[in-house]
């Protein structure tokens, strides 16, 4: 299996990368990056790209599965417009190129609360991305809806840091229908994504599949 990974430098994406490289089912991992990663591996093909010109690298999209963990914050992006470019524009461009090359499966890390009708900008952008991916008619589309992601980040995110401190208490009261709002380890999400992608060998089922993965399902898939 050949897998393309977008967002390999992020918290979850980095863990997905390591997981993919350790699986026998995966023969090649194509990582699109702005700057080269320190990771060296026989299976890893790093490609430094300008994400504004992904169409210049359409040949790289000759893979079996695309896993997208791209994402930023408005503070880091600098504006809502830049945020939309990273969290919506780049994934859509990659998905369109993937379909043009015959990619059969797309696995996306979105977010709990994603909805194109949301009054919250972040959730609305995530929802718009999900709607667009559905319209591309991937034979297999899996959308992950994690809540707060736990793990060591390279950059500090003040609001998330405060949330992490509070989550052990909050998680105890989020039960039943509220399970999906529980914080989850980034490693758990990554393991689920890797396991799911490897389960598609040699290829997804003939019938179209669209899955939404929330807390309980993510934990189950992570094994």
Supply the residues annotated as catalytic.
Answer: 122, 126
* Tokens 């863990």 sit on residue: 15
Helix, strand, or coil (residue 47): strand
> In this structure, what are the phi and psi dihedrals at residue 125, rounded to the nearest 5 degrees?
-65, -45
> In this structure, what are the phi and psi dihedrals at residue 4, rounded to the nearest 5 degrees?
-100, 135
Closest CA to 183 of 219, 130, 155: 219
State both tokens at 167.
Answer: 């989550």
* Tokens 């997804």 sit on residue: 204
Contacts 24+ apart (CB under 8 A), 175-182: 179/214, 179/215, 179/216, 180/112, 180/145, 180/147, 180/214, 180/215, 180/216, 181/112, 181/147, 181/215, 182/147, 182/215
Q: Is residue 162 packed enough to be buried (19+ CB in 10 Å), middle (13-18) or exposed (0-12)?
A: exposed
CA 110 – CA 68 distance, rounded (Å): 9
């Amino acid at each position: 299996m050949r897998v393309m990974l977008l967002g390999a430098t992020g918290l979850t994406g980095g863990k997905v990368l390591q997981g993919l490289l350790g699986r026998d089912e995966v023969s090649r991992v194509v990582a699109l990056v702005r700057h080269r990663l320190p990771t060296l591996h026989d299976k890893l093909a790093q490609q430094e790209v300008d994400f504004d010109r992904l169409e210049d690298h359409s040949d790289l999209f000759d893979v079996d599965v695309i896993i997208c963990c791209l994402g930023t914050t408005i503070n880091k992006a600098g504006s809502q417009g830049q945020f939309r470019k990273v969290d919506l524009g780049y994934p859509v461009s990659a998905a369109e190129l993937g379909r043009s090359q015959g990619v059969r499966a797309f696995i996306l890390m979105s977010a709990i609360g994603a909805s194109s009708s949301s009054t919250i900008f972040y959730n609305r952008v995530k929802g718009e991305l999900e709607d667009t991916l559905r319209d591309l008619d991937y034979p297999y589309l899996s959308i992950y809806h994690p809540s707060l992601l736990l793990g060591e980040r390279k950059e500090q995110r003040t609001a998330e840091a405060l949330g992490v401190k509070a989550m052990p208490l909050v998680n105890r009261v989020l039960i039943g229908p509220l399970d999906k709002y529980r914080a989850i380890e980034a490693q758990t999400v990554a393991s689920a994504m890797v396991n799911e992608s490897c389960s598609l060998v040699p290829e997804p089922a003939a019938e179209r599949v669209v899955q939404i993965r929330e807390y309980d399902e993510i934990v189950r898939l992570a094994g």
